[in-house]
Amino acid sequence: MALVELIKVTKQFGKNRVVHGIDLEIKDNEFIVLVGPSGCGKSTVLRMVAGLESLSGGEIRIAGKSVSHTLPRDRNVAMVFQNYALYPHMTVYDNIAFSLKMAKKSKNETDRKVREAAEMLELTPFLMRKPAALSGGQRQRVAMGRAIVRKPDVFLFDEPLSNLDAQLRTQMRMELRKLLMKMKTTTIYVTHDQIEAMTLADRIVILKDGNIQQVGSPIDVFEKPASTFVATFIGNPPTNILSGIIHKKNKAFSVKIGELILPVPSEQDFEDGQEILVGIRPDAIKAGEKILSFPESWRFPGEIIVSEILGGQSLIEFMVEGVNMIAEVEGRILECPGAFMDLGFDLNRMMFFDSITEKAIRKR
Partner 1 sequence: MIKRFSMGTLLLYGTLGLLVIAYLLPAYLAFVTALKLPGEITLPRSWDLPAEMNWKSFSQAFSLLRPNIVNSIILAISATFLSTLLGSLNGYVFSKWKFRGSEIIFTLFLFGMFIPYQVILIPLFQTLRAMNLYGGLPGLILAHVVYGLPITSLIFRNFYAQIPSALIESAMLDRAGFFSIYTRIVFPLSIPGFVVTSLWQFTQIWNEFLWGICLTRYQSNPITVGLAQLAGGQAVSWNLPMAGSILAAIPVLLIYVFLGRYFIKGLLAGSVKE
**Least Å from the CB of residue 294 to partner 1:** 53
Nearer to partner 1, 158 or 346 (CB): 158
**CB contact set of 17 (below 8 Å; sequence gap of 6+):** 10, 11, 56, 210
**CB contact set of 14 (below 8 Å; sequence gap of 6+):** none
Maximum distance among all Cα pairs of the chain, rounded to whole angstroms? 80
Name which position in 39, 58, 72, 288 contacts partner 1 (CB under 8 A): 72
Per-residue burial over 330-352, b if 16 or more Cβ lie within 10 Å, else e, is: eeebeeeeeeebebbbbbeebbb
Residue 87 interacting with partner 1 (CB under 8 A):
yes
**Least Å from the CB of residue 102 to partner 1:** 4
Residue 83 interacting with partner 1 (CB under 8 A):
yes
Q: Which of residues 139-178 bind partner 1 (CB under 8 A)?
A: 146, 150
Instruction: Tell me the number of residues near partner 1 by CB under 8 A.
Output: 23
Q: Is 9 within 8 Å of 22 (Cβ atoms)?
A: yes
Triad 31, 34, 35: Cα angle to 5°: 130
Residue 12 interacting with partner 1 (CB under 8 A):
no
Name which position in 14, 64, 88, 338 contacts partner 1 (CB under 8 A): 88
Q: Is 160 within 8 Å of 82 (Cβ atoms)?
A: yes
Nearer to partner 1, 123 or 278 (CB): 123
- Spatial separation of the C-alpha atoms in residues 140 and 80, rounded to whole Å: 9
Residue 82 interacting with partner 1 (CB under 8 A):
yes
Q: Is 128 within 8 Å of 50 (Cβ atoms)?
A: no
| Bridge partners for 187 per DSSP | 31, 155
**Least Å from the CB of residue 93 to partner 1:** 15
Q: Which of residues 40-59 bind partner 1 (CB under 8 A)?
A: 50-52
Q: Is 196 within 8 Å of 160 (Cβ atoms)?
A: no
Residue 334 interacting with partner 1 (CB under 8 A):
no
Q: Which of residues 216-275 bind partner 1 (CB under 8 A)?
A: none
Name which position in 9, 77, 172, 190 contacts partner 1 (CB under 8 A): 77
- Spatial separation of the C-alpha atoms in residues 361 and 355, rounded to whole Å: 10
Residue 14 interacting with partner 1 (CB under 8 A):
no
Contact set with partner 1 (CB under 8 A): 50-52, 71-73, 75, 77-79, 81-83, 85, 87-89, 98-99, 102-103, 146, 150
